[in-house]
Amino acid sequence: MTTYRSAWQQALYGPGGFYRRERPAAHFRTSVHASELFGQAIARLARQVGADQVTDIGAGSGELGRVLRAEGLKVLDIELDDELPDQLTGLVVANEWLDNIPCELAEWDEDGVPRYLTAELTPGDVVEGNDLAWLQQWWSGEPGDRAEIGLARDNAWADVVKRLQHGTALAIDYGHVADDRPPYGTLTGFRAGRECEPVLDGSCDITAHVALDSLGGEVHNQRDMLMQLGVSAKRPPLELASTDSAAYLAALSAAGEAAELLDPSGLGGFGWVFSHRS
């Protein structure tokens, strides 16, 4: 039986896979693409945690790194086929990386037994071993419900955190915690800026939300964290328009970008999961 996860892995990262060819910015918009205010806030976070180096895992086209370097930080971009150093220090960031790590999908059958979904999204073998233990700890369901088993994401993140000698690791992603698991899962595709059917032929991005609480760090939301880091969507005072119209327009545009980053039903609702090592 080919599980959905292995077909998903091939579709994104196998020969001819989506991420072997495509640039993320051409298909979807992350916080990094939405505004440089995001990177500037990450730079302030780096300073707060005493880091002068940032490692950006799943760096895409390196847009975040460009902003961080302009803020005076050293940046190591890690993309597919780059080797993650054995030892990491400073701030390690992974923005929208974990949702692209293929995970097993499971559906509870009419007897309440969770079964892996196949590449055709049909029920297959009974879920067992560590995947079953993960479901028992993190995601319960009724007959007909679907779960996205977070173990592959947990393992990928644990592999990052274990390399951290001293510093902070921060995973930023859309996701859920135990109280609000989506009963039918969140699997979806993106192509050319639009949501689409998740087709397993390498023609689109395929993503599922991340179980944030099982990653093992402190979970916060982007809106709160960015506001604490000084991002504000407050409009500039109207008087500025008559005294310095260029400054007024720039401040208005920054407020619009900040509003997108802080939107509780959009990017602002993303989880920020922190692990620290001192």
Ligand X SMILES: C[S@@+](CC[C@H](N)C(=O)[O-])C[C@H]1O[C@@H](n2cnc3c(N)ncnc32)[C@H](O)[C@@H]1O
Q: Does 189 bind ligand X (CB under 6 A)?
A: no
Name the one range near ligand X by CB under 6 A: 52-60, 159-167, 229-237, 250-258. Answer: 52-60
Q: How far is the CB of 144 from ligand X (least distance, A)?
A: 30
**Please, which residue, 108 or 174, has the CB nearer to ligand X?**
174
Q: Does 195 bind ligand X (CB under 6 A)?
A: no
Residues 84-113: x where in contact with ligand X by CB under 6 A, - otherwise, as a string: -----------xxx--x-------------
**CB-count burial class (<10 Å; 0-12, 13-18, 19+) for 169:** buried
Q: Does 77 bind ligand X (CB under 6 A)?
A: no
How far apart, in whole angstroms, are the C-alpha atoms of residue 98 and residue 175? 10
CB of 138 closer than 8 Å to CB of 153: no
CB of 32 closer than 8 Å to CB of 93: no
CB of 210 closer than 8 Å to CB of 175: yes
Q: Does 120 bind ligand X (CB under 6 A)?
A: no
Among 78, 106, 149, 215, binds ligand X (CB under 6 A): 78
Q: How far is the CB of 220 from ligand X (least distance, A)?
A: 18
Q: How far is the CB of 134 from ligand X (least distance, A)?
A: 20
Beta-bridge partners for 99: none
Tokens standing for residue 220: 């916060």
Q: How far is the CB of 66 from ligand X (least distance, A)?
A: 12
Residues 6-25: x where in contact with ligand X by CB under 6 A, - otherwise, as a string: -------------x----x-
How far apart, in whole angstroms, are the C-alpha atoms of residue 214 and residue 135? 11
Alpha-helix residue ranges (DSSP H) falling in the chain:
4-13, 18-21, 31-34, 36-48, 63-70, 129-138, 151-163, 222-228, 239-243, 245-262
Q: How far is the CB of 53 from ligand X (least distance, A)?
A: 17
Closest CA to 173 of 16, 21, 28: 28
Among 1, 72, 79, 158, binds ligand X (CB under 6 A): 79
> Where do contacts with ligand X occur on this chain (CB under 6 A)?
19, 24, 30, 32-33, 57-60, 78-80, 95-97, 100
